[in-house]
Structure 1
Amino acid sequence: MTTDIAQNIADDGADAAETAETTETVTAIGAIDIESMVAAPSPTRLAPIPTPVEQTKFFPHTDEFPEGCQVISDLDQDDFGYPVNIEQVTYVTRQLADDSSVDLPMWVFTPGVDNMPEGAMPEGGWPVIAFVRGSAFHEQNVTDYSNYFVRIAEQGYVVAALKYRHSDIAPFPAQMQDCKTAVRFMRKNAERFHCNKDRIALWGDSSGGHTVLMAGFTGNRAPDTDAYAEESAEVNAIVDWHGPTDFAKMNFYPSSQNHSDPQCPEGVVIGGGDVLEHPDLSAQASPMTYLSADMPTPSTLIMHGGRDQLVPFNQSCRLYATLKALGKDVTFYKLDNACHACYGFRSARALRLVFDWLSDRL
């Protein structure tokens, strides 16, 4: 009891000291003649000036600035682009081989125009990019690419960043099937996300690049699922960042890892077998297998680093040469000194290459 009373007395003393200090501060501020240092107020109360968002730039300019204020007069443009809204949704629930189920999430990044004086949603809605984050086919950390997704959405795209069934719970073709289901989900929900179901591209990096190539090359053909079957999985364009394209050839070019062992990413995704000992499975899981002159192929952009330590650069060379020989629309950029997903890929310039390419195809 005595201790509590002593503490209360101490607290009261601290409060009193704090009150005294605040009073002194207020008194000091009150002694400053602020009115002599700023513009004089209107002699009467001012009426509001109605200003619709699109008329923001015409709001009356003020020439006031107090002494010492630094005026920056050459900055009057916003270059971030659109503001971005983010929503997480479940786009499908899959049954697994052990009779359990898994909900597959998608993070949808949507451009906003509510406070964008110069911005407007295009007629028909925003174009869509379904983005597949790479993970060596294991479980993805989709949100660690949120900085990419925001930058893409700022440019006027709806980004559907999806999580697929990873190879530890479902082998190929689960990943590309999930990608196609995500495309159909976005078409089914086009009105909800204010997007244009006729303008859809796929974009993926590493194993995600492999997945978008597989999904884009096959479209509505097998291997597929019947989820949202009333919608099409066809897309206008594919952006492949350093994705594997021909499993059986990976071990014959420089790499930092073995690409044939049953426990390597490619081995696990084909069901835990040696890639070179299972040529049929390896071929089925390789995008190169699904190309032919008589099958339509979406326009394809390939980007790969000249120092890629994980996916041999030759994988993209093989894909490019084949697409070109088949007369397909293909563009290939070698980021000469880039490694796998870094030293060049994390740059505004790399993104600008993609945006410029997409502008003619989406």
Structure 2
Amino acid sequence: MTNDVTVHEGITYADRETGELKLDLYLPEKENPPLVVYVHGGGWIAETRSNIPDPEQYAAEWDCAIASVSYRLQEAPDGAAVEEMYDPTNPTPRGHFPDHFVDVKAAIRWLRAHAGEYGYDTDKIAAWGSSAGGHLALLAGVVDDVTDLGDAFADEVEQTVAPEESGAVQAVVSWYGAADFTLVEDDVEGLIPLLMGGPQSEIPERWAQASPVTHVTPESPPTLLMHGREDEVVAVEHSHRFFDALEEAGVNAIFYELHDLNHVWVEDVEDIESERVAMDLLAADPTHAQSVYEATHVEAGGSPDPLLADLPPAGPEAIQQFLDRTIR
């Protein structure tokens, strides 16, 4: 136990053909806290669940349980144009999309099934993800469970872990997540065509159904988006399109667009390290230029109930206020 947070590392939540999938759980002293499920970045092909901003610190500061989950990473055939990202020593099991999404939903259902054992509240769960993890967190928000992903994936999804539990989440935080694959160049050598199993021109249904923006409805959960305007890895237009879709559907949302910042909150893409230091970079200059877009929907005769009371700068305080408003 550190910083009044109890840590359970390496909990197995699923056993796939390629190996065990694990999660790390961080529990604050607060009795029956709400739960945040973190999905790491790494281009769907790299990194591990340790790629997370200090979970002990934020579990304590936010009074939230945090679960950082592993998911099957993308397998890459010999000669694929992703060699610089593919690390054969990474111990995480591998597979092919939609395995990544299947695993994130399995972790959410497993966490619901074991809430009594660990002592957190699963009536309301938030998904938080960065980059590729942002894509999976957004998808987890707008698609109730894997069987709702779409006809293009119907033969590739199955609920084998805690199938009796709900895989839905009640709030989403996305850092520079991919929301609309149709924005990606249709390049047969690229990462997204590898993920989708072919170019968009040949399998447009898979590209569309794997895009979170496709699934937005009035029942989608409130969402907090943060994205750098100068992002060279995932264009900021992804978050613009997702925010616009939420606004049109009547879903409350907040979108922070950070001027001059690139992927993982750096100014130069060559300086990217990992999400482990991302919150420190974001919090280092809270006065950094940013535009904030807010969609607050009011029923006839009702009163506005914004997601953030005073619109603090992008960073831990904004996330905490959002979680306080949505999952407490």
Smaller-chain TM-score range?
0.7 to 0.9
What SS is found at the alignment partner of 1:143?
coil
Tell me the residue number matched to 2:56: 150
Tell me the residue number matched to 1:307: 230
Q: How do 1:287-302 and structure 2 match up within 5 A?
A: 287-293=212-218, 296-302=219-225
* Aligned counterparts of 1:92 and 1:262: Cα–Cα separation in 2: 32
Displacement, 1:352?
A: 1.5
What is the CA deviation profile of residues 32-83 of structure 1, one whole-angstrom value per residue up to 9, with x for unaligned ones? xxxxxxxxxxxxxxxxxxxxxxxxxxxxxxxxxxxxxxxxxxxxxxxx9743
The counterpart of 1:228, out of the listed 140, 162, 172, is 162
* Aligned counterparts of 1:181 and 1:242: Cα–Cα separation in 2: 23
What is the CA deviation profile of residues 198-222 of structure 1, one whole-angstrom value per residue up to 9, with x for unaligned ones? 1211000001010011111111352
Q: Cα 1:233–1:329, aligned 2, differ >3 Å: closer, same or farther?
A: same
Tell me the residue number matched to 2:23: 106
Structure 1 contact 181–225 (Cα < 8 Å) conserved: no
Tell me the residue number matched to 1:91: 13
Tell me the residue number matched to 2:209: 284
Structure 1 residue 357 corresponds to structure 2 residue 322 = yes
Q: How do 1:256-275 and structure 2 match up within 5 A?
A: 260-271=186-197, 273-275=198-200
What is the CA deviation profile of residues 6-31 of structure 1, one whole-angstrom value per residue up to 9, with x for unaligned ones? xxxxxxxxxxxxxxxxxxxxxxxxxx
* Aligned counterparts of 1:302 and 1:285: Cα–Cα separation in 2: 19
Q: TM-score, normalised by structure 1?
A: 0.66
The counterpart of 1:238, out of the listed 139, 158, 172, is 172
Structure 1 contact 307–337 (Cα < 8 Å) conserved: yes
Structure 1 contact 200–237 (Cα < 8 Å) conserved: yes
Tell me the residue number matched to 2:120: 195
What is the CA deviation profile of residues 246-272 of structure 1, one whole-angstrom value per residue up to 9, with x for unaligned ones? 112133xxxxxxxx323422111112x
What is the CA deviation profile of residues 112-145 of structure 1, one whole-angstrom value per residue up to 9, with x for unaligned ones? x3xxxxxxx24xx111111000111103322132
Q: How do 1:174-213 and structure 2 match up within 5 A?
A: 174-213=99-138
What SS is found at the alignment partner of 2:54?
helix
Displacement, 1:234?
A: 1.3
Structure 1 contact 177–215 (Cα < 8 Å) conserved: no
Q: Which moved more, 1:153-162 or 1:200-209?
A: 153-162
Displacement, 1:292?
A: 2.9
Q: Cα 1:262–1:192, aligned 2, differ >3 Å: closer, same or farther?
A: farther
Structure 1 residue 335 corresponds to structure 2 residue 258 = yes
> Aligned partner of 1:104: which letter?
L
* Aligned counterparts of 1:192 and 1:337: Cα–Cα separation in 2: 45
Structure 2 contact 184–192 (Cα < 8 Å) conserved: no
Tell me the residue number matched to 2:182: 248
Tell me the residue number matched to 1:317: 240
> Aligned partner of 1:310: which letter?
V
* Aligned counterparts of 2:47 and 2:110: Cα–Cα separation in 1: 20
Structure 1 residue 171 corresponds to structure 2 residue 96 = yes
* Aligned counterparts of 2:229 and 2:201: Cα–Cα separation in 1: 25
Structure 2 contact 24–69 (Cα < 8 Å) conserved: yes
Structure 1 contact 140–163 (Cα < 8 Å) conserved: no
Tell me the residue number matched to 2:90: none
Q: Cα 1:263–1:166, aligned 2, differ >3 Å: closer, same or farther?
A: farther
Structure 1 residue 133 corresponds to structure 2 residue 58 = no
5+ unaligned residues in a row in structure 1: which ranges? 1-79, 96-100, 114-120, 252-259
* Aligned counterparts of 2:16 and 2:250: Cα–Cα separation in 1: 37
* Aligned counterparts of 1:238 and 1:104: Cα–Cα separation in 2: 22
Displacement, 1:187?
A: 0.8
* Aligned counterparts of 1:316 and 1:250: Cα–Cα separation in 2: 13
What is the CA deviation profile of residues 301-347 of structure 1, one whole-angstrom value per residue up to 9, with x for unaligned ones? 11101111100011110111111011111111112222111237533
Structure 1 contact 206–311 (Cα < 8 Å) conserved: yes
Q: Cα 1:263–1:84, aligned 2, differ >3 Å: closer, same or farther?
A: farther
Structure 2 contact 43–132 (Cα < 8 Å) conserved: yes
Structure 1 contact 187–231 (Cα < 8 Å) conserved: yes
Tell me the residue number matched to 2:270: none
What SS is found at the alignment partner of 2:34?
strand
> Aligned partner of 1:135: which letter?
G
| Bigger relative contact order, structure 1 or 2 (CA pairs below 8 A, ≥6 apart) | 2
> Aligned partner of 2:148: which letter?
A
What SS is found at the alignment partner of 2:264?
coil
